[in-house]
Structure 1
Amino acid sequence: IKYDLKLCCLLTHMFQLNLPVCLKPPDIPHASVSEESRKRGYEQGDLLYYTCDTGYVSGPTITYICSSKSWKPVRAGELKPCELPDDTPNGYYQIIQGDDFVFGTTIKYFCNSGYQMVSKVQTRTCLLNKWTNHVPICEPVSCSPPTVQEGLIVRGLPDNDGPILSDRFITFSCADRSKYLSGSSELICGQDGEWSGTFPSCEDITCQAQKPLPPLYVTGLPPANEKMKYGHKLRFLCDSRYTLFGVTEVECLETGQWSAAFPTCREPVGCGMPPPLEFGDVQSSLQSSYDHGERVEYSCQSYYTLDGQTHKTCSNGQWTGEMRCIRPCTVTQDDMRRKNIELRYKSDPKIYSRHRDFVTFSCTRGRHDGRLAMRQQCIDGEMLLPSCQ
């Protein structure tokens, strides 16, 4: 029994001597175990050396020792710091990779509102002795000048072809009244250097019309129903058996619309009794109704003069034709006695003179005062009388 116990203790001691004390090496950021110190297992007292990754320094070599079944550090590595990066006017920077201004840290530059980055490279990285790249440059945001089409008026551009900065408004209009502005009449240069919309253009103002169906006919319509430009005119007429209702002519306006609705053709309608004529009469017997196209003749009373047409015509329910009866002039013996005058060629107690007739007077006593001529004309029922003293 004593022999077996002694053998067991000897085997246990031998097994403990061969079993590794420290197993997995510690994980050190930005460093790895050197080749010369790497092995499968580590016993107490073994040293472990680390090599820093590129860009990192540790001063003395990072060293760990296997002690009491664990690794204990002898020296830890530190990153090499960089000088503070330069600022850029009208902009700022932010760290986009890393936590401090040390080797490997990357920063990115941004521009303030109203400014834009003109440098192609916007980042810088801290190396062993300096920052990479030049400091990016921020310039005021500007928009490209508009492409000016012939006939397009642009207002609001800077003088002397200066830069178009953000928040500047420009307006557009067309020089030719026969064209309209297709697009926005106002654009603004945005904070991003882009215009608020696309540039407008000047297009021909056109109106459309299709060939009407009979009995309505139109002249001035182009072939193949092409669009007609501003100022173009169309004229309408109806078949002889129909009457035109509406305008006879329309024009293409600057709104792209026609000046009036297109007319229509309808069968004509008759008329009622013709209207009366003051100081005149209808020459024929009156009827209660008349057909389209019928005429009625008028005449004036004695000594009245007919001025205008001699007849009215029934035209699609309306009487057309204008005339009037003009009054004659009347001169009595009392009128002439007060003026000391008399008719030179008559001795009637009362005379009637038609419109535009002339009458000659002479003095009954005294002499002509010369203020009015002794020969006067009747005008629309009025005649001036000379006088003698």
Structure 2
Amino acid sequence: MRVPVKLLGFGFWLFFLNCARCKECLREDITFEKTEPVENASYADGETVKVNCVAGYTGLYKLKCEKGEWKKSIEPPCARKKCSHPGDTPNGNFELKEGTEFVFGATVLYTCTKGYEMTSRINHRTCRAQGWDNAVPVCEVVKCPAISTDGEVTASGNTEEGSYVTSGSSNTAAKQKLCPVLSVENGFIYSHPSNKEKIFYSCNTGYKPFTGNWWDSVTCSKGSWSDEPRCIRKEECGALPSVHHGKLTLTLHDPETADVECDPGYMSTDRSIKCTNGRWEKPVCKEVRCDIPPNVENAVITSEPEELYLPESTVTYVCRNSYLMNEKRVFCQRGTSEKPPTCQETKCVANLTENMRSDEHQGSEVSVIPGQTITLSCVRSGSTLQGQREITCQSNGEWSSPFPKCIGQTTSCGPPPDVNDADTIELKKDEYKTRERVEYSCFNKYTLDLRPPFSRYLTCVQGEWRGNIRC
């Protein structure tokens, strides 16, 4: 006898285990925009989880798992992070490339006023997750180049920075200030006889230019070289490579690793790159685009078709007459469009009591489409219809008037109604008096839900069964 009892206990254990799993909430059902995936694939009933926004966005969703569904308790949606003022530059101005706010992804372009020139290499700043990148560009007054003279030419004024006047033999030309003589340790240089302002250099065996190429060049401008030519050992990591539509930043904990950050609208398959045997990996920031929006039956999009859709772009769907839509807009995110909406045919449903019937339809449940009208009447003698006798289904799925009721002197009820997965514990009678009640019991593997408004009883009240039963 012990073995069957153990098997029965094990069966009950498996049953309750499966029921517990039925109430789990899944990570894939969390579909908020611009959020990071939560840690676990599933969560038990009663567990709470915080859903954070992706880098560059602020907000927080706090969810609780209840009976296999996520319930929201906090819902500030993810919005682009705001940056402070990008900073003014003396003798210059800036303007936003797009939009009107200093938010994540926004770029400002700087220009100098007339009479000034930009000495900074980069003329823009972009709002990133950690704030503005780059430094505020610098505008300096336009200066004439410094000159040197020979014995037959004299110069008056500030010959280093300001304006100056030269005089002397017309056959003698003033010479521009020269850059210092260059030498490259562990390398060699070459300058073309007709162009002394540009020098090319390469490195000795076992060395390479710091820029990562096997040769490079520097240019003389206003008495200084554009860069310092350097030769490093081949196994060393030199300068970070350039990235189209993005930038690289060395990590603090590892000088041979750099983080990849692409411009808005671009995405890299690698979050970081490494330097291996003296060579940096080459990251690529690819433009992210969505294909044409998905087709939805019985719907149309309220904008002209395009070949490709940029990230964050949206389209709006509209259903044809007599159809309702669950969600109208679809967003393009990370190269894929969101799940498309659906257009459901609009219907009005009437659940008739046993004392009411429809003149046009049979059965206790009547379903019609918008524009159709049903005529209702009471079955039992002595009862009258309270409300409109004819009601029409509207385009929003609602009836044109409140649903009528049958009221009157009738006090008895017919047999109690059928309930899914349950039955009365006693045989049903053909007629019940007011205040008589019947008790229900669920079939095997089901239990009664006794939380309000549910109970185990239905009560006859003035010809109608009152109460709610659920297994």
Higher relative contact order (CA 8 A, sep 6+): 1
After TM superposition, the score normalised by the length of structure 1 is: 0.34
TM-score, scaled relative to structure 2: 0.29
Max radius of gyration: which structure? 1
